[in-house]
Every structure is written in C-alpha cells, then in structure tokens.
Amino acid sequence: MIQQTSDKKWFDQLVMELRLRQVHGNAIGDTVASAKELLSDTGQQAEEAFGPARDYAAALELPAAPKHDWVRKALWPSLLGLLAFLLFNQAVVSSTRSELLLISPAQLALLATPVVLVAFLPLYLDAIVRRIWVCIAITAICALAGVMSGVATPTDQAEAWLALDPLPWLIGSALVMVALSVRNTIRSSSTTDDDDITDPSSGAASSTGTGARVIVQVTNWMFPILALAMLGLALALR
C-alpha cells in the first residue's frame, strides 16, 4: 500500500516534470507505461529503479514542443481575458452608479501588476509549480494589487488622470470575455485534444472523464461568471 502510494506520487511527479518540459502526451504515456512495465517485472519501487522523477525526466531527453507554443495557445488568450475582466470591474461600479469612470496613474499601475505577472509567467512557471510558497506569494501580490487599486480610485474628477464614459468599456470588456470563452469552449469540445496522455498498449486516453470535462468548461467561462458576480454585487451595493 505504501509502495503503491509512493509510486503514484513518483508517477504524478514524472508526468508533471515531462509536462513542464513540453513533452507530447503520447511520449508521456509511453514513458509511464514502459516504467510501469519494468516495475511490474522487477517488483522494485519507482524511485529505486529510476531515481528521482525530475532526474529521470531530464535524462530521457524526449523531444519537446517549441517553448512558445503554449504561450500562443493558452497564455495570450488568458492574459486578454484577465485584462478584460479587470477593465469590466473598474467600469461596472461607475456604470451602475451612472458616474464617470475615473482613473489615476497609481490605480493604473496597480491594475497592470497582475497583467504583467501573468505575462511573465513563462519565466517563473517552474518555480510556481515546484514551490507552493511562490504560487501563494504571486496570488497574494495580485489580490493586494486589486484591493489597493480600489483604494487608489479617485473620488472626484479633479483627482483623476482619465475620466471616461464607463458604458463602452463595460460592454467592450464583456464582449471580449464572452468571445474568448466561446472560442475556448469550441476548441475544447469540438476537437479531441491530441496532447492527452495515452496508454500505448491500449490507445486509451486518460483524464477525459465527465468531471474533467466540467472543470474545463467552468475554467473556460471563469471570467464571465466572475464578471456576472461582480455585476450582481455592484447592483446590490448601489
């Protein structure tokens, strides 16, 4: 039982390490299956037979997708969604109160903080995945920047750097969020993900259960759902 648990942890870590190296799902499935085959033959523990999962993943030197591939496919749309969500949040309060959208330079800098942190994610993604405190620190910085941007909102037009009609920004940001969610939904449901981890002996893909599909759809619609919640909150507190 202990052996099974430690082996499961080792295999989870191996898959994560290979994913971080942008190894294709088929190659990951092949690596996992051949490692399991040997363990079944020898009765050894994974760590004993293959050493640390991180070292083994590095030693295999499996072909990897170009580094910028996931940036183009996932990071830029997420970044655009975040930007639209932040704009929506700024515009929604002013819009429900029928006021101008007032923006100060400090507020803009604070709002830009999470956007910049996400934009530079490829530089420190490994650290976030491997060290939970890095993940907590980044989340805390983003949350703090959000709260501080609320504090830095100008109270009258004289203090503001920009005074805008909030409605076009509200509608525009909402449309961008919905368009991105529709795009992601179509991409994830109409095509079979060719990067799924597949068992080479059976050809079956893993992690395609109903639960996983629901999580994917909820993630696709995360920004519009949160924006609706913010709209409800703004209307309630009006």
Partner 1 sequence: MEVSTSTPRDAASVDWPSDWLRATLGFLALRALSPGPSYGYAIISELERYGFGTIKGGTLYPLLTRYEAAGLVTTEWRAGDGGPGRKYFALTDQGRAEVTRLSADWLRFTDVTTRYLDQPTREGSP
> Would you state the structure tokens that stand for residue 127, as one six-digit string?
């650290």
Which string of DSSP letters, residue by residue, matches 143-154?
Answer: HHHHHHHHHTS-
Phi then psi dihedrals of residue 216, to 5 deg: -60, -45
- What is the smallest separation between the CB atom of 42 and partner 1, expressed in angstroms? 6
Which residues 168-227 are close enough to bind partner 1 by CB under 8 A? 200-202
Distance from C-alpha of 10 to C-alpha of 152, rounded to nearest angstrom: 47
- What is the smallest separation between the CB atom of 61 and partner 1, expressed in angstroms? 6
Distance from C-alpha of 118 to C-alpha of 164, rounded to nearest angstrom: 26
Nearest to partner 1 of 14, 111 (CB atom): 14
Contact 234, 93 (CB under 8 A): yes
- What is the smallest separation between the CB atom of 166 and partner 1, expressed in angstroms? 57
Under the binding rule (CB under 8 A), the answer on residue 3 touching partner 1 is: no
Distance from C-alpha of 113 to C-alpha of 146, rounded to nearest angstrom: 9
Which residues in 136-202 belong to E strands, given as ranges? 162-164
Which residues 123-162 are close enough to bind partner 1 by CB under 8 A? none
Which residues in 34-123 belong to E strands, given as ranges? 101-103
Binding track, positions 28-67, relative to partner 1; x by CB under 8 A: --xx-xxxxxxxxxx-x----xxx---xx--xxxxx----
Tell me, by CB under 8 A, how many residues bind partner 1. Answer: 26
Helices 210-220 and 166-190 meet at what angle, rounded to 10?
160
- What is the smallest separation between the CB atom of 125 and partner 1, expressed in angstroms? 24
Under the binding rule (CB under 8 A), the answer on residue 4 touching partner 1 is: no
Nearest to partner 1 of 41, 156 (CB atom): 41
- What is the smallest separation between the CB atom of 68 and partner 1, expressed in angstroms? 22
Chain residues binding partner 1 by CB under 8 A are: 30-31, 33-42, 44, 49-51, 55-56, 59-63, 200-202
